[in-house]
Structure 1
């Protein structure tokens, strides 16, 4: 079992904390004039996305997490599992519906995404930050209704997601979406 000394904590290190894999998001080594040196870190739990502020003594050790990230292509789903393929080795990976979570509305066939594995088990699926998705229906809007405070309408995308779009977007349009916020970015020509 490999260990990290708290003096070696760096941003991006993956550790086991409270029996869960975590990512160190910030680390500050403090050496006060009196007393023992310590390390102040912000840790993100990879399973729950909870952010924790924690202070460790300079003599503390934590286990290195066996966390790996792979960029895989999304193939299809059967309602219970989502299937991905490694384009280099052609190995398939299936991921449960509960792990996909809300990200399922941003997954399109043949798109790549980042899959995080802990002890060779999937724990998270992150789609690309921006995706181009086709609009299959839009809310009706009155022509010339630009004076109204609401200059957007709701659009349903091919994946089932519903987003706010400008009034000029029509059924069949291809639009760019920021998957982190779920917001419309632009129309794709």
Structure 2
């Protein structure tokens, strides 16, 4: 873990980022933002991560303006091969190396991954896949949603829709079962028809 690191502000850290905390590489699994309760107080960013080496869970809190070092790792374009109850298996599209990722380490990303999804990248540290990075948006098919109600196409109301991966998102009322939609992988929100 020697050498120079690139840095970013804590508010720029996203799930899937690998940062250096107390000298250890930590892959960020999830985050929550705590707005200040007093004037002049800083917004706090609370991260749940996993130590890449020991695999222990870590909770870290930063102010949004704190500078965080990004761990030195490579991003490799991969393709999903298959999943089983404990692991997700991906293959490097250039070297054809195969990596396995424990399901609990990819829980946040699994609802967005379908067979043949382009743009998945493996975060590789010391020849080991420590996490998965998804494209900013993915296209998914609606498996089930309530039928649209005639005359409601101009309203801003939404309804829940279950997608092919069992992810549930809120879509505008005019969207129908069987349609393909774009979903933001960072927020889980409906973006548009595909």
Residue 78 (structure 1) aligns with: 84
Cα gap change, 1:145 to 1:17, in 2 (>3 Å): closer
Cα gap change, 1:86 to 1:3, in 2 (>3 Å): closer
Aligned length: 156
Residue 133 (structure 2) aligns with: 126
Structure 2 gaps of 5+ residues are 9-17, 28-46, 51-57
> If the length of structure 1 is used for normalisation, what is the TM-score?
0.68
Aligned residue among 113, 118, 124 for 1:117 = 124
> If the length of structure 2 is used for normalisation, what is the TM-score?
0.66
Residue 107 (structure 2) aligns with: 101
Larger Rg: 1
CA distance in 2, matches of 1:147, 1:66: 49
Pairing of 1:30-69 with structure 2 (within 5 A):
47=50, 50=60, 52=62, 65-69=71-75
Task: Say whether residues 1:185 and 2:181 are aligned partners.
Answer: no
CA distance in 1, matches of 2:162, 2:60: 31
Structure 1 gaps of 5+ residues are 24-43, 56-61
Cα gap change, 1:66 to 1:11, in 2 (>3 Å): closer
